[in-house]
Amino acid sequence: MFILILRRMLVAIPTLILVSMIVFSLQKLLPGDPVLTLAGEERDPAVLDYLRDKYRLNDPLPVQYFAWVKQVATGDLGRSLRTDVPVTTLIAQKLPVTLQLAAMAMFFALIVGIPMGILAAVKKGKPIEYGANIAALSGMSIPNFWLGIILIMVVSVQWRLLPASGYVSPSEDFWLSMKTMLMPALVLSTALAAYLMRHTRSAMLEALNADYVRTARAKGVSARGVILRHALRNALMPIVTLVTLLFGELLAGAVLTEQVFTIPGFGKLVVDAVFNRDYAVVQGVVLCVAVGFIVMNLLADVLYILVNPRLRHS
């Protein structure tokens, strides 16, 4: 077990280096001069030259990259070109926002997706199953930004029930925080809930046809007991790993949702940074997300072993 974790962590190091190199060079391939973008309407050539020098933009790419790696090794991710704020500060500010959004979305997805999946499996061939399937299909295919705008129009503008956008930290005002996050989290959870529903349904169908379920039924266990205690327990195993892996997907999905609802999270930070050619920020955020993905994958592996004892000895 520990050897497995150690091995996975060692593999993570080259992955991280590769990711950072790819992002670094991709950014440089983007057309646009970061200093011209930063200067906007101002064009004093002396100042532009000074800034190019200051941010090492005149150096060859490998030199820039190694300078960056050296800096990162000391825990310094650099400063935003646009606002001078250290990238680590920005990450510390934005990460909790996106995590809150992702956690709430995951919560909604779980409480909707899994019961719906169970129900669809149990009521196979009945209208409930078709309804659940249609709901899942629409959940997967409705674009987040469209749903977001529609919700804002109806719930915030027409009914004036919830704030249209923005972010309030839960430590500042818990209920207001939940209210502002409600719509974005719902929007973000739709695809996820659909995904979970489908996987739960197929896993449940498989479990319900298994021998141990038939045995349980033959022993006279109640229908509820069969479904919840026998079938669901086994069906949930792959779902657990799926959820940890999907959490990473959620962070990516948050990019669009954050744009629509103007949530100052990770996604918005990186999108704005790309448009502003704020290299240091893009670089730092991507590195951070890559670390997050690797950790989640590792966690999924570990969880899978914990849930499924059969794997421990292989």
Partner 1 sequence: MKRLTKTFTAALVMMACAAGTASAQQLRVGLQEDPDVLDPHRARTYVGRIVFTSMCDKLVDLDPTLNIVPQLATSWQWNADSTVLTFKLRDDVTFHDGSHFDAAAAQANLQRAMTLPDSFRKTELSSIKSIEAPDATTLVLTLKQPDATLLSQLTDRAGMMLSPQSFAGDDVNAVGRNPVCAGPYKFVERVQNDRIVLDKFDKYYDAKAYHFNRLVFLPIPDTTVRLSNLRAGGLDILERLNPADVAEVKKDTRLTFANIAGLGYQELLFNHQNGDRAKANPFNDARVRRALDLSIDRDAINEVVGGGIFEPAGQAFPPASPFFDKKFAPGKRDVKAARALLKEAGQTEVKAELVFGNNTTTAAIAEMLQAMAAESGIQLSLRPTDYAAMLSQMRGGNFEVAMRGWSGRTDPDGNVYQFLSCKGSQNDGRYCNPEVDKLLDEARTVPDVARRKALYDKAQELLHKDAADVYLYYQPWPFALQKKVQGFVPYPDGMIRLKNVTFATK
Instruction: List residues binding partner 1 (CB under 8 A).
Output: 30-34, 36-47, 50-51, 54, 79-80, 82-85, 90, 93-94, 149, 152-153, 156-157, 159-167, 175-176, 179, 259-262, 264, 268-269, 272, 275-277
CB nearer to partner 1: pick between 172 and 211: 172
CA atoms 174, 176, 179, 184: torsion sign: negative
Between 78 and 117, CB nearer to partner 1:
78
Q: Nearest approach, Cβ of 146 to partner 1 (angstroms)?
A: 12
Q: Closest approach of Cβ 152 to partner 1, in Å?
A: 5
Nearer to partner 1, 88 or 133 (CB): 88
CA distances from 159 to 66, 171, 230 (A): 54, 27, 45
DSSP 8-state assignment for residue 135: H
**C-alpha torsion angle, residues 253, 256, 260, 263 (rounded to 10):** 70
Q: Measured from the CB of residue 111, what is the shortest distance to partner 1 in angstroms?
A: 16
Pull the structure tokens for residue 287.
Answer: 């590195």
Backbone angles phi, psi at 220, to 5 degrees: 90, 20
Distant-in-sequence, close-in-space partners of 104: CB < 8 Å, separation ≥ 6: 181, 182, 185, 189
**Closest CB 263 distance from partner 1, rounded Å:** 9
Which helix (H) or strand (E) is 142 found in, with range? none
Residue closer to partner 1 (CB basis): 5 or 36: 36
> How many Cβ atoms from other residues are within 10 Å of residue 182's Cβ?
17
* Closest to partner 1 by CB, 117 or 163: 163
On whether the CB atoms of residues 263 and 167 are closer than 8 A, the answer is: yes
How much helix, strand and coil, in percent to the nearest 5, is found in the chain? Answer: 80, 0, 20
Name the residue nearer to partner 1 (CB basis): 32 or 62.
32
Q: Which is nearer to partner 1, 42 or 211 (CB)?
A: 42
Q: How far is the CB of 181 from partner 1 (least distance, A)?
A: 13
Return the number of the residue (145 or 304) whose C-beta is nearest partner 1. 145
Q: What is residue 191's DSSP assignment?
A: H
Residues 101, 108, 226, CA angle at the centre, nearest 5°? 145
Helix (H, G, I), strand (E, B) or coil at 86: strand
Least separation in angstroms between residue 302's CB and partner 1 is: 35
Q: How far is the CB of 71 from partner 1 (least distance, A)?
A: 16
| Collapsed DSSP state (helix, strand, coil) of residue 5 | helix
Q: How far is the CB of 156 from partner 1 (least distance, A)?
A: 4
Burial code (b: 16+ CB inside 10 Å, e: under 16) for 48-61 equals beebbeebeeeeee
